[in-house]
Amino acid sequence: MTKTPSDVKILATGLTVTSDVDPYFRDLYGTPSEIKAKIDADIDAIHAAGFQITLKYVSDASPEAIADSLDWLRNKLREEKFDGVMVGTGLRLIPQQTELWEDVMNVIREEAPQSVFMFNDGPGRNLWALRRNKERLGITTDY
């Protein structure tokens, strides 16, 4: 079946922009407000391209916040079918987030094995990752 972006449902998840991260991450990507602005603009561009996208930040503020984030992700993936799941750089690039990244990936693998797994290369780069994966998502049109 040929799909257009409007036929494709995406779940994007990443580390809360206000998380305490090493300075090198801020040097690469900016302040929390700069990162959030990049993500917001990217989500707007994804909507403008026609995709259905749900964004959920994963909080590392406390063990309870982590558990709540993982529960939300697990339940969302059980309730809805997503063609693709995007995982942000903050979960993958920051060494102290490795365990959380593993937990997120295992929830996705367990609850949405049929989804295309995608990874951006920085805040504001989800549309780029979608374009890179358009064939895997079954999209044959340009956007």
pLDDT digits (tens, 9 = 90+) for 46-97: 999 999 999 999 999 999 999 999 999 999 999 999 999 999 999 998 888 9
- In this structure, is residue 143 part of a structural domain? no
Determine phi and psi for 32, rounding to 5 degrees: -55, -40
Q: Find the domain containing 78 and state its range.
A: 5-132
* pTM for the whole structure: 0.92
pLDDT of res. 114: 97
Side chain identity, residue 51: F
pLDDT digits (tens, 9 = 90+) for 23-44: 888 899 999 999 999 999 999 9
Contact (Cβ atoms closer than 8 angstroms) between residue 111 and residue 77: yes
- In this structure, is residue 104 part of a structural domain? yes
- In this structure, is residue 55 part of a structural domain? yes
CATH at residue 97: 3.40.50
Contact (Cβ atoms closer than 8 angstroms) between residue 78 and residue 85: no
- In this structure, is residue 138 part of a structural domain? no
Instruction: Give the number of domains in the chain.
Output: 1
Residues in the chain: 143
Neighbours of 72 (CB within 10 A): 16
